[in-house]
Chain A
Amino acid sequence: MAYEEPIRDYDELVENCTCAFCGCNCDDLTYLIKDGHVVGVRHACRLGASKVMEDMDQRLLVPMIRNDEGNLVETDWDTALDKAAELIAGAVRPVFYGWSETSIETMKHGIKLGELVGAVLDNQATICHGPSLQAVQNAGYPVNTLGEVKNRADMIVYSGNNAMNSHPRHMGRYSAFPRGYFRKRGRFDRTIVTMDPRYTDTAKMSDIWVGFEQNGDYEFYNAMRAVLRGKKLKKDVISGIPKEDIEELVEAMKTTQYGSLFFGLGLTHTLSKQRSIDIAINLIQDLNKFTKWNLVPMRGHFNVNGFNIFMAFEMGFPYGVDFSRGYPRYMNGETNTIDLLTREEPDVFMVIAADPGAHFPGGANRHLTNIPVIQIDIHWGPSTELADIVLPGSFIGVEAAGTSYRMDGVPIYMKKAIDKPETCRDDEWIVRELHERVQKIKGEKIASK
């Protein structure tokens, strides 16, 4: 790594900005601004900094519509919005997917539009922590805010999650390293455990690495729970872990003062899906008979939790909400994006602040080739290659203000630091415009009848 000179050439500093990357929502960033551009970021991790210091080469700047030759051609806002509104208004089973990288304020217009046309509203939880939410619905939800971990926790467990790669400041800002009120010496007062089949970068920073077998998570947690409840294990090795080690670990977890479990997609993406989380939640509940334990799902996007919270208070369900019958419906495996796509149900797909092209299995993306796709995003990405209408949005937390919810549910107002490129529009404006235009089309239809 080459040495880089510190950036000294800037006009102003904007402090206490919120990072729009992962669920840590670090709200202590300082942006260095010159000529209306962010030229440097302080305090951010590699991920946050790279997102804020975006790649302007691939920034979407003008609305585009796909022509007959299959090329995206630039157009004006009115044409693009009218075309998109027409598609949405005429759709029988529209799906609006995404939302996790935009603000709550944008979602407010999105839900109005969804209710109006009877759409399915779904977010990235459907491909990441959806099983966690199902497990929460099965087993419970003992959580804490991250400050509780910072101030009290003396044992921290990362399970199926590589925080050093996906949430790089998590350990430094909230869990392992910070000096808390009851943990004045920071890292030295805490035991860090990583449970992961791989010896990840997080495992390398931990005191204990439990490398259980691939797909062995359910069995492993079940064994821990059995030991905790005073049962004798009959097998000598469980999920690749010797039973003595399991017993020792359970003893350590039992005698700690305040423990916190952070779990990630390693648990949700394996075959046992929500059941591995069920058992982890049950384990935490059992541990609370002895001492204090909580857990927090490591949410990936900065507002993926926000969408779940928003949908829950607006409509009672966290994600995958189907309005096609005029009332909200939520059925796992039925009203979720991946299932809808593999069943080839949707006839219009709007993706906002998300990238199915990069993150959906090919088997699901395949249906996007059969139907019109409307994309609202800031960069040209894999989804743009599948999009028929592209509407360039703006960057929440940098170019536009908005509310987001941290992985632990703490709401943060992400302020605006610079102006957006002249030809772009705020996500909030775009969705509001779509809503108004669709309303007009629907109104005309009713009038003509």
Chain B
Amino acid sequence: MEYIIKNGIVYDPTNKIEGEKKDVMFKNGKIVDNVSSDAKVLDATDKLVMAAGVDPHSHIAGPKLVVGRLYRPEDSRRGVKPKTATTRAESGFSIPSCPATGYRYSRMGYGTVVEAAMPPLEAKHTHEEIVAIPNIDIPALALFGNNWFTLEYAKDNNVEDLAAFISKWLKITRGYGVKIVNPGGSEAWGWGMNVHGLDDPVPYWDVTSREVIHTLAEANESLGLPHSIHLHPNDLGHPGNYETTVGSMDLIKDISKNSPVRDQTVHMTHIQYHSYAGTNWRDFESGAEDISKFINKNDYVTCDVGQITLDETTTMTADAPMEFDLHQLNGLKWANKDIELETSSGIVPFIYSGRNSVHSVQWAIGLEMFLMVNNPWQIMLTTDNPNAGPFIRYPKVISWLMSNKRRTEMIEHGEVHKAVGRKSSLATLDREYDFDEIATISRAAPARAYGFTDRGHLGVDARADIAVYDIKPNEIDPSNEYETIECAFGNAALTVKDGQIIVQDGEIVSTKESQTIWANVQGIEERENEVMKKVMPVFDKYYTIKFENYLVHDHYIHNPIEVNIQAGK
């Protein structure tokens, strides 16, 4: 089947197309440069056309999510929608059910979402949920930062074995990349402790976060994985943590990139939570300036923001000690899940409110990061769903970014606490994003950071993942018409996934099975076998599950997209 999307205003930063009126054509699920006269015409005259969105960091599938849904029926009851002829019933607001997750991303014109944390022991669970989510392709990042084997290798600075271990474990879990969460801290939580800063040794293991990050980054580059290390540094959410954040970025400056498909050697995730100055919650203030200065100077770093959306949401992270602190702070019900030899995690509901000074400053810090990092290729749109807010708020964040007027209104009309004026410089920033920059932070840059060459742009041979929004970029004034912007980005006029029309006029018209994207490293099988000889005795002794039953079998991977990598090339 051939299609032609006619006369849209196309923004495709990867191919340097900035608001050109042109047709987008696709055939058999791929973008093509010409179609026959039989092609079905989809009229998009003067409407905004972009590649489908790519979300670089979102928690949408896996054991944490299920704990959230199990223990927060009050959240599931928000956002209940009955089934229709094409869709199943939906439920949930911050932690939607799997079908709802797929539909809602499609309605926003998204096509690919990265699940940001997959504990290897429960990887099968994550993949089961990926299969249950329709419409979007989902790579999952496996957690390595607190894995006992990693800690051992990092202590010995054994990069070669660690690389083989990572390569093997990505095969076992069908993971896409290396996620590091509070390195050392989640292991310390095994004893109810945490580590503070980069040089605080992990109890018993006698290795520091600095060593763990550096060794993992080296191993990542020696394999040449399509994504860099994906780092959630230590001290999340602590006043004064910006120094740790800068230190974490700085410590990998000596590592050279070993992959042509991406630009960075480290991706800093939800940087908003890591850009705090001050010493306690009373003198807490923005540290965004130092962080953005560092990022502006160093092009080996990319980041996503984790923008606070001022909603009632559910925080969930593998940074379990932080979640316990949060529970102590807000007194809401605390869930925790420690996973043997690998990680821990925690969940706490959270109500971000514009009336609260700290939450308001957090909100401002996120926006500061967006506005103070100069190169949009280095910063990406996320809410660390659902931690800082549910992903369905992306359109709202876009409207804030495109309208200084709206931001000023929020500050001046008291929609956020007046502390924003004192403790951040947001009010002084009048930068407004244009459509090209929006397309960069929500599509092109995330795709680049993950080494996806087949999506995030509209070049020939890319997947036909396309979004059309019902706004006329040449006519609209986003600064004043921010509500129209929010509405349009939330209800795509057309979402196409692999050539299939999923959404029309904000409604789901068809669904398709999602696909898992995983990285298969080839060429070091012998090395892997050597490493496994040493790993297996430890595995048999300390895990409570047999290795045969630990593997993610093909049974769980419906229709995968396998990214083959030659190790070290």
Q: Which residues of A contact B (CB under 8 A)?
A: 15-16, 18, 27-28, 104, 115, 133, 136-148, 150-152, 173-174, 179-182, 257-258, 285, 288-289, 291-292, 294, 308-309, 312-318, 323, 325-328, 330, 401, 403, 405, 409-413
Q: Classify chain B's interface size.
A: 35 or more
Q: Closest residue of chain B to A182, judged by CB?
A: B204
- Residues of the A chain whose Cβ atoms lie less than 8 Å from the Cβ of B70: 133, 136-137, 141, 308-309, 312, 318
Q: How far is the CA of A8 from the CA of B522 in the complex (A)?
A: 44
A27 touches B333 (CB 8 A): no
A327 touches B338 (CB 8 A): no
- Residues of the A chain whose Cβ atoms lie less than 8 Å from the Cβ of B190: 148, 152, 258, 292
A288 touches B324 (CB 8 A): yes
- Residues of the A chain whose Cβ atoms lie less than 8 Å from the Cβ of B333: 137-141
Smallest beta-carbon distance A195→chain B, Å: 22
A328 touches B80 (CB 8 A): yes
B81 touches A327 (CB 8 A): yes
- Residues of the B chain whose Cβ atoms lie less than 8 Å from the Cβ of A326: 82-83, 89
| Candidates A28, A143, A403; contact of B124 at CB < 8 Å | A403
A16 touches B548 (CB 8 A): yes
A115 touches B89 (CB 8 A): yes
Q: B96 near A: Cβ within 8 Å? A: yes
A413 touches B335 (CB 8 A): no
Smallest beta-carbon distance A48→chain B, Å: 15
B82-97 with Cβ < 8 A to chain A:
82-83, 88-92, 95-97
Q: Using A181-B541, A327-B90 as known contacts, list a sample of 17 further A-B pairs with CB atoms less than 8 Å apart, ordered by residue number in A.
A: A115-B83, A137-B73, A140-B333, A141-B67, A143-B338, A147-B545, A148-B339, A151-B340, A151-B341, A292-B189, A294-B338, A313-B65, A315-B91, A315-B97, A316-B69, A328-B97, A413-B124
A411 touches B544 (CB 8 A): no
A411 touches B73 (CB 8 A): no
- Residues of the B chain whose Cβ atoms lie less than 8 Å from the Cβ of A291: 191-192
Q: How far is the CA of A115 from the CA of B99 in the complex (A)?
A: 13
Q: How far is the CA of A245 from the CA of B546 in the complex (A)?
A: 41
B337 touches A147 (CB 8 A): no
Query: Can you list 25 contacts pairing A with B, beta carbon distance less than 8 Å?
Result: A138-B333, A139-B333, A140-B327, A141-B335, A145-B544, A147-B542, A150-B542, A179-B541, A181-B148, A258-B191, A285-B327, A291-B192, A292-B191, A312-B70, A313-B65, A313-B132, A314-B98, A314-B99, A315-B76, A315-B91, A316-B97, A317-B73, A323-B89, A405-B125, A412-B549
B544 touches A150 (CB 8 A): yes
B327 touches A104 (CB 8 A): no
- Residues of the B chain whose Cβ atoms lie less than 8 Å from the Cβ of A148: 190, 338-340
Q: How far is the CA of A148 from the CA of B190 in the complex (A)?
A: 8
B546 touches A413 (CB 8 A): no
Q: How far is the CA of A152 from the CA of B129 in the complex (A)?
A: 30
| Candidates B71, B95, B189, B544; contact of A174 at CB < 8 Å | B544
B336 touches A142 (CB 8 A): yes
- Residues of the B chain whose Cβ atoms lie less than 8 Å from the Cβ of A294: 336, 338
Q: How far is the CA of A347 from the CA of B557 in the complex (A)?
A: 39
Q: Closest residue of chain A to B92, judged by CB?
A: A316
- Residues of the B chain whose Cβ atoms lie less than 8 Å from the Cβ of A323: 89
